[in-house]
């Protein structure tokens, strides 16, 4: 049996090595390292893939979120509603821009922001909602978009974990996550479902005016060369990463299928076990399975994590400390938020190895070792 990893990027690379090496060689030969043709072609391919009018590449997913917020003309003190049960980047950029993060609960089953909690948190100062499609499945976007419309709020989708997931509305129309809100933001961190061989990110919108603003902000607020109209930043996807991503984008759908096969195997192996809740499958969303995350009932979660490690099976806790309990947010009153479900999940979730190259003997071994601890 091959050694088990959370993500196996070496095996994945081996299968596309010829294509990728050729694309890299082309960039090297052209020496168009910044804003080369690979970047514009990747942006075009990505917007086509997502069915969104504009895809604006940038340096990483955190920048994508930050630039999105910068484009909305918010002022210090404006409130932004966000889950606390997420990777810190989602919430950090809100604080960085001197906006006020308003942390709300997630749904216990879906791990995504609870629309009812959003409604309760809205005040006259609320300007935006940042739902996170955590672990690869869409938040309840139809309900969230209706709330946003009713209260005149912007919606920025944190799509870092769910690129390629499809959301079905009640009229049966289907949209890809990241293309539904005012703006979508994603990351190409190597371990993400569409991962570069370094850092990368992108921003999506159907709004022409916003797209122009987002592009300007990512490029020093520049309207034409050496004319800077607004304060921006420097956030670029380099041509080498764009060339690699152009290849990997062609494989994204098959990668998602491979991840779903792993999830199906786990689901079956753990079905009916009263101590294990397998990931909820939303009737409105396909699942990109960036993570396969169990919720444990009456199991020593950290003990399981250590037991698996002793069997050379990696497992991860995403995330051990929710945003509102991070020291970073003490000055924002983080500890004053009462988020029982978030705290509850933080103590019970565990994510198992899932990637595009997993083999059945590995899955059988993981399931067997996990169950032997859970059932003892």
Ligand X SMILES: *Cc1c(COP(=O)(O)O)cnc(C)c1O
Q: What does the binding site for ligand X look like in residue numbers (CB under 6 A)?
A: 60-62, 86-87, 89-90, 132, 158, 160-161, 187, 189, 199, 201
From the CB of 180, what's the least distance to ligand X, in Å? 16
Token duo for residue 77 = 């003190």
Q: Which is nearer to ligand X, 241 or 362 (CB)?
A: 241
From the CB of 275, what's the least distance to ligand X, in Å? 27
From the CB of 332, what's the least distance to ligand X, in Å? 18
From the CB of 160, what's the least distance to ligand X, in Å? 3
Q: Angle at CA 135, nearest 5°, toward 193 and 48?
A: 45
Which residue in the block uniquely carries the two structure tokens 């917007």?
47
Q: Which is nearer to ligand X, 112 or 276 (CB)?
A: 112
Q: Which is nearer to ligand X, 127 or 290 (CB)?
A: 290
Q: Which is nearer to ligand X, 62 or 282 (CB)?
A: 62
Do 362 and 353 meet the contact criterion of CB atoms below 8 Å apart?
Answer: yes
The rounded distance, in Å, linking the Cα atoms of 348 and 275 is: 11
From the CB of 249, what's the least distance to ligand X, in Å? 16
The rounded distance, in Å, linking the Cα atoms of 64 and 75 is: 19
Could you tell me how far CA 107 lies from the centroid of its own chain?
A: 17
For strands 54-58 and 222-224, give the pairing: unpaired
Do 12 and 6 meet the contact criterion of CB atoms below 8 Å apart?
Answer: no
Do 203 and 55 meet the contact criterion of CB atoms below 8 Å apart?
Answer: yes
Length of the chain: 376
Q: Which is nearer to ligand X, 311 or 326 (CB)?
A: 326
CA distances from 289 to 36, 222, 351 (A): 32, 38, 11
Q: Which residue is nearest to ligand X (CB)?
A: 61
CA distances from 255 to 250, 261, 275, 291, 356 (A): 10, 10, 30, 13, 6
From the CB of 201, what's the least distance to ligand X, in Å? 5
The rounded distance, in Å, linking the Cα atoms of 318 and 279 is: 14
From the CB of 199, what's the least distance to ligand X, in Å? 6
| Residue (of 14, 15, 41, 38) closest to 26 by Cα position | 38
Q: Which is nearer to ligand X, 79 or 199 (CB)?
A: 199
Q: Which is nearer to ligand X, 115 or 201 (CB)?
A: 201
């Amino acid at each position: 049996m091959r050694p088990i990893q959370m993500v196996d990027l070496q095996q994945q690379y081996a299968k596309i090595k010829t294509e990728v090496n050729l694309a890299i060689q082309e960039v090297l030969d052209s020496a168009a390292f910044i804003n080369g043709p690979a970047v514009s072609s990747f942006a075009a391919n990505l917007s086509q893939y997502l069915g969104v009018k504009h895809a604006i590449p940038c340096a990483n997913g955190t920048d994508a979120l930050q630039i999105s917020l910068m484009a909305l003309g918010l002022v210090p003190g404006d409130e932004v509603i966000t889950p606390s049960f997420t990777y810190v980047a989602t919430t950090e950029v809100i604080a960085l821009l001197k906006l006020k993060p308003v942390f709300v609960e997630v749904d216990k089953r879906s791990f995504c922001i609870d629309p009812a909690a959003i409604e309760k948190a809205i005040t006259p100062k609320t300007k935006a909602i940042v739902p996170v499609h955590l672990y690869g499945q869409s938040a309840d976007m139809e309900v969230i978009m209706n709330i946003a419309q009713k209260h005149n709020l912007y919606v920025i989708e944190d799509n870092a974990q769910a690129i390629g997931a499809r959301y079905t509305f009640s009229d049966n129309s289907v949209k890809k996550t990241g293309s539904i809100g005012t703006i979508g933001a994603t990351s190409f961190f190597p371990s993400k479902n569409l991962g570069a061989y370094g850092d990368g990110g992108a921003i999506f919108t159907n709004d022409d005016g916003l797209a122009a603003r987002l592009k300007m902000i990512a490029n020093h607020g520049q309207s034409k060369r050496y004319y800077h109209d607004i304060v921006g930043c420097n956030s670029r996807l380099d041509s080498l990463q764009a060339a690699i991503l152009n290849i990997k984008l062609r494989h994204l759908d098959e990668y998602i299928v491979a991840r779903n096969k792993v999830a199906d195997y786990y689901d079956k192996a753990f079905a009916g076990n009263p101590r294990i809740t397998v990931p909820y499958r939303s009737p409105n969303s396909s699942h990109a399975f960036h993570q396969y995350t169990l919720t444990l009932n009456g199991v020593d979660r950290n003990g399981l994590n250590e037991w698996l490690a002793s069997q050379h099976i990696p497992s991860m806790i995403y995330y051990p400390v929710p945003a509102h309990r991070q020291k970073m947010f003490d000055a924002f009153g983080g500890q004053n938020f009462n988020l029982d479900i978030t705290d509850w999940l933080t103590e019970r979730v565990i994510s198992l190895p899932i990637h595009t190259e997993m083999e059945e003997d590995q899955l059988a071994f993981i399931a067997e070792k996990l169950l032997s601890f859970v059932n003892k």
